[in-house]
A and B are shown apart, each in its own frame.
Chain A
């Protein structure tokens, strides 16, 4: 589904990603963890070309998206993204937020888009908020709208960039629950997170990063109980 080869990203002198090579299968849920500044978010943002890789290749569904011929807009239709700070459109109601992209990008009929949007909002438990503006919502509600907005495009891959890091502790669960439900649908998910319990419970695989490199990857049980590298051991001793 997703394959990166020697993916490298530099900002000026600063190398943020160093030759990342990994594969993510269809339907797999991957949690990327690691200390801040380790390049987790940058890796995620390269996958939908919000950051342009400096070197290396990314294949998604057997298409090389790092090729200059590829249109970014086309790639992004199939990849949903959820941000740490939600980034809902503040001048649109919740419903408008969710149905905007299907109408504008996919030329979906309005009636159908409304139906899909309402269905998704019901699924994330926000049926009664469809006419509210984002600033009337709590952080957890905003993030659930953002998830619904991304899902409205019917993506095949969902990227989550620290989706619960900006939330008050009591709202984390409601967002994680929505994400858990999503894993049941067979969605391919890549989640950058600091929620170790979530990573342990939900992920099929953990990618542990430090200093722009993948230091270790493997199944959660093994990683959390018996990390192979010293770095991962140190990291886990601090966060668990």
Chain B
């Protein structure tokens, strides 16, 4: 069996640098997706059609087309229209953030709908306005319900982040590919990258479990 891990040892620091690159754009994308997703979710629960409809269309488009296509359009197609050279980091964050927002908005919408209607009535009867009611009463309760689904979305996003290697972003995946091409050995660097992805997801999962336990303190 042709397997020799010693050959990739000199390239390990090069691959490891990709962790930072991956984490950087994944965390920015998650934040972006979370904020936009929350706003879209609030639009979706509105009873005004002209507020709800754009959010529904948005979700339909971003969930209805492949992520890699969205990434390509943002990185290659739109710059063609405006003759603007978009940095890979920005393309990556835009594509993943916008895409994630569509999924997150559905998760949050479902979470808000699952909060007992009586909670809204109780807040309304006390004279609490819409904004504090959402911020202090509805969203905190929704958060608890949606945390597992949200963690799942973050895990998916972290794994799918490897797609940005296709537009040349020097993430973990891209670096593993480069090392593989240089050494004419693909198994070792790809396995190495795979382990790192797995460890990252493992840590993320545990953070999620810890958060969930903390939120259950009022149960």
Contact = CB atoms under 8 A, between A and B. Distances in A.
B119 A89 contact: yes
Interface string B107-130: 000000000101101101111110
Nearest to A133: B218
Contacts of B121: 50, 83, 87
Nearest to B137: A89
Contact of B129 (A73, A100, A150): A73
Nearest to B126: A101
A69 interface: no
Interface in A30-81: 48, 50, 72-77, 79-81
A135 B217 CA distance: 11
With most chain A CB atoms within 10 A of its CB, the pick from B119, B122, B126 is B126
A104 B125 contact: no
Contacts of A135: 218-219
A87 B128 contact: no
Contact of B125 (A48, A89, A133): A48
A91 B125 contact: no
B interface majority secondary structure: helix
Contacts of A81: 122, 125
Contacts of A7: none
A76 B141 CA distance: 23
Interface residues of B, number: 20
Contacts of B140: 91
A224 B122 CA distance: 33
A120 B88 CA distance: 60
Interface string B123-149: 011111100100011001100100000
B128 A91 contact: no
Given A83-B121, A104-B136, A135-B219, A91 B141 contact: yes
Contacts of B129: 73, 105
Given A83-B118, A100-B136, A90 B218 contact: yes
A77 B127 contact: yes
A153 B126 CA distance: 7
Interface in A87-129: 87-92, 100-101, 104-105
Interface of A: 48, 50, 72-77, 79-81, 83, 85, 87-92, 100-101, 104-105, 133, 135, 149-150, 153
14 contacts: A73-B127, A73-B128, A74-B127, A76-B124, A76-B125, A77-B127, A87-B116, A87-B121, A89-B141, A100-B128, A100-B136, A105-B126, A105-B129, A135-B218
